[in-house]
Amino acid sequence: MKDLAFPIADAVLKGDTADIYFLRACEVLEREGVNPRATMEVFPSRDGILCGMREALALLRRVLPPDAEVWALEEGQPFNRKEVVLRITAPYLSYGIYETALLGFLSHESGWATAARQCVEAAGDIPVVGFAARHVHPAVAPYMDYAAIVGGCASASTPEGARLAGVVPSGTMPHAMIICFGDTVRAAIAFDRHMPPEVPRMVLVDTFRDEPQESVAVAQALRERLNGVRLDTPGERGGVTSDLVKEVRAHLDLAGFPWVRIFVSGGVTPDRIREIREAGAPVDGFGVGSYITSARPIDFTADLHEIEGKPIAKRGRIPGITPSPRLVRVL
């Protein structure tokens, strides 16, 4: 697993983002000279898609001693409830204060990746792009976009999130740009004039005029340079419906632009994707935002299962190493 792309913030390394009781516990243990070689296992509360492991390993590589042993499930793999996804064996004080961060990486990113996978599975062979950065704090937006891509999205909107995933960010123009120009065609021509050729010419067509009318007008202006149109009709106007997609497709085809793709965004969920597909609407791509960001984190739990090679566990858990044949040694 490659984890070098993930920088670890100084606040995390210093323990400033940890639950305070871990810091106090480690201080007490250190002052008492108690630092056993301990095995900790991490497991989820429900099924999902694993994400955050690369970031977890980036942290562990920074803090663990050379004789540590780490086993992990690979990023992007499906996991089952209570399946061990991470096992660490090392002196406890080398990783004890990082339990909060490790669980946070896995919990939030796996929740996002799982929601993205639900959209991707609903879409079938139609690409899905993550448009969710505006719904989260900017400090976590790249990790959310990265998780969306791990979940199966073809790309996402932030440059940093796309970089972490090794893909090119996706997105062209906002409504604000079109409104500043005062005309969709004028904005499209300007965009085409100044953007490099590798940037797709995907134009919003719901700002000023009827979507089929605006789609044809943009296509007539850009001709073969137009890759597609994006429908993002707000709820106040009824949102993007299957019938609207079919109408836009028909007008583009009748005007001689069968290659122009139709991309749908705005309130997209797995149920809406299935509804649009079942209606036979010719959609070429979906943009998903709030469904991913509103995903509930998947709770992960960390338990100590061995101390100095001897099985141990809290009540309710089985002492000793949990059989986990899918884990791969990574450290």
Q: In 3-state terms, what secondary structure has residue 125?
A: coil
- Cβ distance 93 to 26 under 8 Å? yes
Q: pLDDT tier at 172 (50, 70, 90 boundaries)?
A: confident
pLDDT value at residue 137: 95
Task: State yes or no: pLDDT of 296 exceeds 50.
Answer: yes
Task: State yes or no: pLDDT of 273 exceeds 60.
Answer: yes
pLDDT value at residue 1: 42
Mean pLDDT of the chain: 96
- Cβ distance 121 to 271 under 8 Å? no
83-134 pLDDT, tens digit each:
999 999 999 999 999 999 999 999 999 999 999 999 999 999 999 999 999 9
Q: pLDDT tier at 238 (50, 70, 90 boundaries)?
A: confident
Residue 36: which of 322, 319, 306 has the closest Cα? 306
Q: Averaged over 265-286, what is the pLDDT? A: 96
Task: State yes or no: pLDDT of 312 exceeds 90.
Answer: yes
Task: State yes or no: pLDDT of 22 exceeds 70.
Answer: yes
Q: Averaged over 272-291, what is the pLDDT? A: 97
Q: pLDDT tier at 237 (50, 70, 90 boundaries)?
A: confident
CA distance 115 to 112: 5
Q: Averaged over 169-180, what is the pLDDT? A: 94
Residue 1 DSSP symbol: -
Task: State yes or no: pLDDT of 4 exceeds 90.
Answer: no
Q: Averaged over 188-192, what is the pLDDT? A: 98
pLDDT value at residue 239: 86
Angle at 313 between CA 307 and CA 316, to 5 degrees: 175
Q: pLDDT tier at 3 (50, 70, 90 boundaries)?
A: low
CA distance 124 to 284: 11
Query: Over pLDDT 90: what percentage of the chain?
Result: 96
- Domains of the chain in sequence order: 10-110+297-329 (3.20.140.10), 113-293 (3.20.20.70)
pTM confidence score: 0.94
- Cβ distance 59 to 101 under 8 Å? yes
Q: Averaged over 318-324, what is the pLDDT? A: 95
Distances (CA, A) of 315 to 42, 92, 304, 307: 16, 20, 12, 16
